[in-house]
A and B are shown apart, each in its own frame.
Chain A
Amino acid sequence: MSDTVSKATGAEAAPMTNERSSAGHVGLFIGILVLLVLAPFIAYPVFVMKLLCFALFALAFNLLLGFGGLLSFGHAAYFGMASYVSAYTALHWKLLPEQAILLGTACAFVLGLIFGALAIRRTGIYFAMITLALAQMVFFFCLQATGFTGGEDGIQGVPRGMLFGLFSLQNDMTLYILVAAIFFIGFAIIYRVIHSPFGQVMKAIRENEPRAISLGYRVNRYKLIIFVISATLSGLAGATKAIVFQLASLTDVGIGVSGEVVLMTLIGGMGTVVGPIVGAGVIVGMSNYLASLGGWVTVVQGAVFVLCVLLFREGIIGVINKRFKTKL
């Protein structure tokens, strides 16, 4: 919201802000690269990989919610389905890990295209309910199609395999390099989309849809494209997670994960560039450190949800952006 205001107030000031922010964003990319290099030496690599998968998922989700203004409550469908496809093809078809991940991502693309085309027929609150119902349909499919998903057991013992047939991913550090590269590419794509003319039109649609229509934009086409990009990248995250943990399960396709990704985005800051990464860090970290609480983790998450909506709607990065006038 705040950057729309700044754009409206001074058109002549815009080039300067752009220059400053693009310099800032070179810094942002360098900062992320440095963190990616340092992280596995500071924390347990598998934990960092889990974090990166969820961070990419949350970034993809935020693209839809923060920049498209569309609240999907069923993003686990793309994340979970891609992880099943990636796990299944790596295990049963003996595909190389990169092939399995790409196939999983492609599956999320197709699913996103179909569900997106259905969901954008309604707006607002109905959009959220439709995406949730469609995701629940996917969940029931996965529960029943035991030949494909393994039902309650999930697909276990997925081989990490040899990347390009050359590098064994059994080594956590080799795998980490792959996951970090996937995350970085995903982040770069999302960054590019947000700062492209397409991203600007999306913001216009979010702020005032009738006006965007009257200006001649095919609003539904824009919404569908951003939905598909978001679903595909969520799938990329899910497919990668299946290879990292050598497991695909019903949890990843259920409503719990759909809710978690909303919470990550909310905590980090909706509509900010790096907020979802921070939010994913908070939630993944929280569920790791609070694991001893067992069932109470859900209660804590729910309470955090309520508190965020009541008191902290801008999110961590949103507050930082406001205080320091940055555009992270």
Chain B
Amino acid sequence: MTTIFGIPTAALFGQVLLGLINGSFYAILSLGLAVIFGLLNIINFAHGALYMMGAFAAWMMLTYLGVNYWWALLFAPIIIGAFGIVIERVLIQPISKLDHIYGLLLTFGLALVIQGVFRNYYGSSGMPYAVPPLLQGGTNLGFMFLPYYRGWVVVASLAVCLATWYMIEKTKLGAYLRAATENPTMVQAFGINVPLMITLTYGFGVGLAAFAGVLAAPIYSVNPNMGVDLIIVVFAVVVIGGMGSIMGSIVTGFGLGVIEGLTKVFYPEASSTVIFIIMVIVLLLRPAGLFGRAA
């Protein structure tokens, strides 16, 4: 067996792949948080709960309606995104003029409600969700075994992240979005419906979270608690990367996922805390975050 630093390459690259997968979830979720924060000025604490709802939507569609994975990948983000739009209109808009912390508290309460409801109906043990037939099995690359589904998750997430980046940075719609982030009153004065844009942005960010949830369903079992710990790690990712740059969120998300994966190989005891430790180091050296602008 080939080894590097005394560690079998299969184990090493297997963890790196797992790290990339976690990294894709970090990237998609922190991207959503950053887009929402840019326009709404709130940190969406419910993001983890909505990611979990995405996974559940896929599971429910398969179990109750027989809708397969691919349709779920399309419909779950739309359904959960629509749910997000309702949340924005009913709950978030009334407090949009208040201090940022109220948005955090409100969405935290929302996360408690959503997670509590799912936990009561489905328990905490989690339900399996089968890998779609097309992506079952894998191939031996020589230095590691690559399960097709895991490769697909990384490719699909990367594609979605880059598409989002392209849309925000290079299209006209994205230009409106960026302008509204800088100065919403001015953009409104040019005749653009900013409140509608805010609502749709929230729905889009939520849809991204749900998309990540569907991708995660076959890898981790569908579990009401799957979003709780993840969202806190994503917060640390956001602190490390700073929310100023879309590409920054993507790079930080994937990078930290890989670092976490490598830690699992070389020093497993620290794997659950390594991202927080990096956060501490970044705070000491570059308080504004790697890609952040100083406040």
Which residue numbers of A lie inside 8 Å of B, CB to CB? 71, 73, 118, 121-126, 128-130, 132-134, 136-137, 140-141, 144, 255, 259, 262, 266, 294-296, 298-299, 301-306, 308-310, 313
Quick check: is B146 within 8 A (CB to CB) of the other chain? no
Closest 4 pairs between A and B when the two form their complex, measured CB to CB: A305-B109, A302-B112, A299-B116, A302-B113
CB of B232 within 8 Å of the partner chain: yes
| Known interface pairs A123-B295, A125-B43, A305-B108; A295-B120 also in contact (CB < 8 Å) | yes
Residue of B nearest to A305 (CB): B109
Q: What's the nearest-Cβ distance from chain A to residue B45, in Å? A: 9
* B247 at the binding interface (Cβ < 8 Å): no
Q: How far apart are the CA atoms of A61 and B149 in the complex, in Å?
A: 46
Q: A118-B283, A121-B283, A129-B239 are in contact. Are A298 and B105 (CB under 8 A)?
A: no
Say whether B235 contacts A132, CB under 8 Å.
Answer: yes
Within 8 A of A (CB), among B93-125: 94-95, 98, 100-102, 104-106, 108-117, 119-120
Smallest Cβ-Cβ distance to B117: which chain A residue: A299
Q: How far is the CA of A129 from the CA of B292 in the complex (A)?
A: 15
Cβ of B250 within 8 Å of any chain A Cβ, yes or no, is no
Using a CB-CB cutoff of 8 Å, which residues 9-37 of chain B contact chain A? 37
A299 to B121, CA, bound (A): 12
Closest residue of chain B to A122 (Cβ to Cβ) is B287
Instruction: Show 16 A/B contacts (Cβ-Cβ < 8 Å), sorted by A.
Output: A71-B101, A129-B235, A133-B235, A137-B273, A140-B276, A255-B228, A255-B232, A295-B116, A302-B112, A303-B109, A305-B105, A305-B108, A305-B112, A306-B110, A306-B113, A309-B95
Q: Please indicate the chain A residues that have their CB under 8 angstroms from the CB of B159 in the complex.
A: none
Query: Which of B117, B120, B280 is close to A118, meaning CB atoms less than 8 Å apart?
Result: B280
User: CB distance B273 to A141 under 8 Å?
Assistant: yes
Closest B residue, CB atoms, query A258: B108
On whether the beta carbons of B120 and A299 are closer than 8 Å, the reply is yes
Q: Which residues of the partner chain A approach B105 to less than 8 Å between Cβ atoms? A: 262, 266, 305, 308-309
Which A residues are in CB contact (< 8 Å) with B114? 302
Nearest-Cβ distance from residue B290 to partner chain A, whole angstroms: 14
Q: Give chain B's interface residues, CB within 8 Å of chain A.
A: 37, 43, 91, 94-95, 98, 100-102, 104-106, 108-117, 119-120, 228-229, 232-233, 235-236, 238-239, 269, 272-273, 276-277, 279-280, 283-284, 287, 295
CB distance from A207 to the nearest CB of B (A): 12
How long is the Cα–Cα vector from A123 to B272 in the complex, in angstroms? 26
Q: By the criterion CB–CB under 8 Å, are B112 and A122 in contact?
A: no
Q: A130 and B279: CB pair below 8 A?
A: yes
The CA of A255 and the CA of B231, in the complex, are separated in Å by: 12
Q: Tell me whether B112 and A299 are in contact (CB under 8 A).
A: yes
User: Given the known A-B contacts A298-B119, A302-B109, are A121 and B287 also in contact in the complex, defined by CB atoms under 8 Å?
Assistant: yes
Inside 8 A of A136's CB, which chain B residues have their CB?
229, 232-233, 236, 276
B109 contact from A121, A122, A296, A309, Cβ within 8 A: A309
- B95: chain A residues within 8 A (beta carbon): 309-310
Contact B111 A302 (CB under 8 A): yes
Report A312 CB to chain B, min CB distance, Å: 12
Closest to A70 in B: B101
The interface centre, meaning the residue of A123, A255, A310 with most chain B CB atoms within 10 A of its CB, is A310
Q: Which chain A residues lie closer than 8 Å to B119 at the CB level?
A: 295, 298
Give chain A residues whose Cβ lies under 8 Å from the Cβ of B108. Answer: 73, 259, 262, 302, 305
Contacting residues, chain A, for B238 (C-beta < 8 A): 129
Give Cα A118 to B238, complex, Å: 16
Contact A299 B113 (CB under 8 A): yes
- Decide: A303 and B277 in contact? CB cutoff 8 A: no
Which residues of chain A are near B113, meaning CB under 8 Å? 298-299, 302-303, 306
Alpha-carbon gap, A134 to B104, bound state (A)? 17
Interface centre among A122, A123, A296 (most CB of B within 10 A): A122
CB distance from B88 to the nearest CB of A (A): 13
- B295 CB contacts on chain A under 8 angstroms: 122-124
* B-chain residues with CB within 8 Å of residue A301 when the two chains form the complex: 109, 112
Give the Cβ gap from B53 to chain A, nearest Cβ, in Å: 14
What's the minimum C-beta distance from B12 to chain A, rounded to whole angstroms?
A: 23
Candidate in A133, A305, A310 with the most chain B CB atoms within 10 angstroms: A133
Q: How far is the CA of A259 from the CA of B113 in the complex (A)?
A: 13
Q: How far is the CA of A124 from the CA of B100 in the complex (A)?
A: 8
Which residues of B have CB within 8 Å of A121? 283-284, 287
